[in-house]
Amino acid sequence: MANCLTLKKSNCKSCFRCVRKCPVKAIRFSGNQAHIIGNECILCGNCVVQCPQNAKEIADGIEKVRVLLQSGDPVVVSLAPSFVANYGGIGIESMRRAIKKLGFYDVEETAIGATIVKREYERLIKEEERDIIITSCCHSVNLLIQKRFPECLEYLADVMSPMQAHCSNIKKRIPNVKTVFIGPCVAKKDEAEYYEGIVDAVLTFEELDKMLGEAYITLEQESDSSEDSRARFFPTTGGVLKTMAQDAPGYTYLAVDGVENCMTALKDIASGKIHKCFIEMSACIGSCIGGPVMNRSGKPLVSDYMKIASYAGARDFDVAQPDAAELKKNFSAIEHKLPMPSESEIMSVLRQMGKFKPEDELNCGTCGYNSCRDKAIAIIQGKAEISMCLPFLKDKAESFSDTIVKNTPNALIVLNENLEVQQINNAARKIMNIRAASDVLGEPVVRILDPTLFAQVKMSGRNIRNRRTYLAEYQKYVEQTVVYDADSRMLIGIMRDITDEVEAQEKKESISRQTVEVADKVVEKQMRIVQEIASLLGETAAETKIALTKLKESIGDE
């Protein structure tokens, strides 16, 4: 398979939208990046359309076309009939003039090839009397059958697509010509490369717009008409049938669009429920006018159909019908299946995903897979990761956060902007003597706590941190922090019980005061004793002095 789809890894954000929208689950995730599984992809282009980050890109064919234009050989465009819907109000003559200014030799409508193909379909029904015929115009449908429903290959019309039939017709008419198909399809790039020598290059309408823009070429608003253009209906749902006679006896003619609907029909065919039926199958809803690069800003299928209907004629193009052998196209099965894991392997992965019983399997589809079992199988096959399960991640995150909240020694209480309790942990319930969280959840916080700090933070937008508060009703001292979370519009209160610390501090201060008081009394008593001793010593010294003086005087008299 050609590498028609590429991935810009830097853009992939692991949203899993591409997996959800991929009808065949041909995308695997590894290292939080999406990877397209080439041998399973049917190139429907859904992932390109659905990716919100533009991480999926269609391979650019402009450079290859420019090389063809510089080769010196005539290069003719086969323009898909859906151009009428993509470029409203612009006919084939206006398109031809603009495209030829880029250096192309000529521009023709792929609807010419569609006329050839529908005639071959009518021949298959009448001459070969086949039981079931599935149209082979859509390469994505062909790949779907080749890869996922090989048992239905015998019913796939072994006929060229209109693109191939037209380009073959051009090469028969113009010597040394090179052909370039322009349309709304990703898969046509792969078809052109796989079946070599028929279509030399493929451009999307977006790539054509880019080339015209770079050359400053403007499409002229000019329509035209032709009665010999009934095959212009081909890009619409039922458009192939609209060009056919539908008169084979006992035959049922029906159109199926959308990959999911095609798969349902193919299952019915494989089961043997359907017979004598001609089925027009298109991978895109609305057929080609709903293609992945068709009106990328939206899918106005009704108005687009009206544009096609007003432009298409009532008769077939006048084109020579080649021999049936020249239109032959062979299809073979493309092996893609990974080995199916055992039931024990599936159950083991389900348990890792937290799915222990059937009721645990939500089958919500957020991972992109239809059921938890499908997801488990994809994990074993290396296409998915356990972390792609949103309920699993949510439960894991909640379990982790709940473990922290429940076991932290700090009291936590969460309020909404109406100051109503949204969450409260065990530590907070213990401080406030609350029997069960259910007793206060949803209730105004004023029932259990002074809301002043919460109201201040809500009004000012400024957080309060480590504010010492005395909860008189609970006789508790706490360090209170109140934080406002703008994203969740919640107020978070964190309280650290410091009652023991405060009481210990108060006890220490009391002991200190008592010690000081005792010391003061001891000092006072000691000072009194000293003073008394000093007083006694002072009286004795005075008496001694008097006695000695008298003794001295008596000795002197003698």
Q: Is the pLDDT confidence value at 415 over 70?
A: yes
Of the pLDDT bands very low, low, confident and very high (cuts 50, 70, 90), residue 232 is: very high
Separation of first and last alpha carbons in the chain:
151
Residue 400: per-residue pLDDT: 60
DSSP conformational letter for 340:
P
Gap between the Cα atoms of 14 and 204, Å rounded: 27
Average pLDDT estimate for 218-234? 92
The torsion angle over the Cα atoms of residues 135, 136, 141 and 143, rounded to 10 degrees, is 150
CA–CA distance, 8 with 31 (Å, rounded to integer): 14
Q: Smallest Cα–Cα separation from 77: which of 204, 197, 224, 190?
A: 204
Model confidence pLDDT, tens digit, residues 488-497: 889 999 999 9
Q: Answer yes or no: is pLDDT of 139 > 70.
A: yes
Q: What's the rounded Cα separation, in Å, for the pair 96 and 399? A: 65
Q: In the structure, what pLDDT confidence band is assigned to residue 296 with cuts at 50, 70 and 90?
A: low
- Please name each of the domains of the chain with its CATH number: 60-327 (no CATH), 338-402 (1.10.15), 408-497 (3.30.450.20)
Q: Residue 5 forms beta bridges with which residues?
A: 58
Contact assessment for residue 355 and residue 374, using Cβ atoms and an 8 Å cutoff? no
**Do 39 and 52 form a contact (C-beta atoms < 8 A)?**
no
pLDDT in tens, 169-209: 999 999 999 999 999 999 999 999 999 999 999 999 999 99
Residue 194 · residue 280 · CB < 8 Å: no
> How many CB atoms sit inside 10 A of residue 307's CB?
20
| The pairing of beta strand 252-257 with beta strand 56-58 | unpaired
For 100, the enclosing helix (H) or strand (E) is: helix 92-100
Query: Structure tokens of 213?
Result: 């823009």
Check residue 377 and give its pLDDT.
82
Mean pLDDT of the chain: 87
- DSSP code string of 164-182: HHHHHHHHHHSTT-EEEEE
Closest of 136, 201, 211, 140 to residue 167, by C-alpha: 201
The structure's pTM equals: 0.70
Across 70-84, 149-163, 244-258, 373-387, least confident range: 373-387
Using one digit for the tens of pLDDT, what is the confidence trace for 422-463? 989 999 999 999 999 889 999 999 999 999 999 999 999 899
Q: How far is CA 231 from the centre of its chain?
A: 39
Q: Backbone phi, then psi, for 30, in 5-degree steps?
A: -145, 130
% residues pLDDT > 90 (the chain): 57
What dihedral angle (degrees, nearest 10) is formed by the CA atoms of 169, 175, 176, 182? Answer: -30
pLDDT-wise least confident of 58-72, 99-113, 387-401: 387-401
pLDDT confidence tier of residue 538, bands split at 50, 70 and 90: low
The single residue listed with the structure tokens 């957020």 is 366
